[in-house]
Copies of this chain bind each other. A is one copy, B any other.
Amino acid sequence: MKGQGPPWVVGVDIGGTNLRVGRVPLEGGAPPVAVRRCHTRAASGSDRVLDRIVTMIRESVTDVGRENVAGIGLGAPGPLDTESGVVAETPNLGWRDYPLRDLVAEACGMPATLDNDANCFTYGEWWMGAGRGCRRLVGITLGTGIGGGIVIDGEIHRGASGGAGEVGHMSVDFRGRRCPCGARGCVEAYASGPAIAARAIEAIPDGGDSVLASIVDGDLGEITAEIVCAAATAGDRHAEGVLRDTARILATAVANLIHLLNPDAVVIGGGVANAGERLLRPLRREVRGRVFGTHMRACRIVRSELGDSAGVIGAAGVFRRAHLCRPR
């Protein structure tokens, strides 16, 4: 680190549903971040979304004074190009070949970086969360989609075209369920939030002896992964079965990651991870049955420590790494 630079970086986590912006201190242990949140309101158009991002950053900067902020780290859904700072395509947000990094940097008058949201999640957990001290860390975000990131020796492994860490499109059944990406058996086609809901709906017994249908008054389209979790917690066997299968399928993907990368930890976050130990306990059990003992003993499988702030902290961390760390 430079000796006497500004003490803060602003981290921005741009999601399809929420925008999160927070100031992250460059030094110091725990993550004392003031994270603000607002709805992305993607339907209002890409310029409006950009305006909202810039406004939130400015507020965050004003609070401590410009001279105390080194720059801005942005995390956004991919595919995107880290080098040029351009979002190639984000259907949810209506961006296409959108030079997000430079637009934000110009509007705010300070340098910025851009990286993939799942990379930011993983880097955040490595820097200040459940993956602290890990030489090899894999992060998985379970939400509307399934994302992933790999941090090795403190560096995000981005790959040849910046697309590494696509855990969601790891296939766990070569003849399996069709994924919107075109392939078969992708873990995202089973274990993303919408996929969990879809599997629960498909499998509702004809007789209808699941509380799921009654929770939504028969309007099956209203079933979400959250409702499936709630029903399982309430003891509904059908919902329990769906969660058990989800754990088994996720475990296959996690076991594959462990065989391949032999990491020190796998950190799991995102909305679906709010199911907590109800999901993680059977997942760990299944992984243990699949991987070699030496791999398993070397690897913790844990829930995100930073929760909703992981993306903000990680985005700030990526800026710090790019602009403020000495080259090794």
Residues of chain A having any CB pair with chain B under 8 Å:
79, 135-136, 148, 150, 152, 157-167, 169-176, 181-185, 248-249, 252, 255-257, 259-264, 289-292, 294-295, 297-299
Contact = CB atoms under 8 A, between A and B. Distances in A.
Contacts of A136: 157, 159-160
A31 B295 CA distance: 35
Q: How many copies does the complex hold?
A: 2
Given A172-B174, A256-B170, A159 B262 contact: yes
A163 B292 contact: yes
A294 B159 CA distance: 11
Contacts of A256: 170-171, 256
Contacts of A289: 182-183
A interface secondary structure, majority: loop
Given A157-B152, A160-B135, A260 B166 contact: yes
A260 B257 contact: yes
Contacts of A260: 148, 150, 164-167, 170, 257, 260
A171 B290 contact: yes
A241 B311 CA distance: 47
Given A152-B152, A172-B173, A290-B183, A161 B295 contact: yes
Nearest to A287: B183
11 contacts: A136-B157, A148-B260, A160-B263, A163-B298, A166-B262, A169-B259, A172-B185, A173-B173, A173-B174, A182-B289, A182-B290
Contacts of A259: 163, 166-167, 169-170
A294 B79 contact: yes
Given A164-B262, A167-B260, 13 more contacts: A79-B294, A160-B298, A161-B262, A163-B295, A166-B262, A169-B259, A172-B173, A172-B185, A181-B292, A182-B289, A183-B255, A183-B289, A183-B291
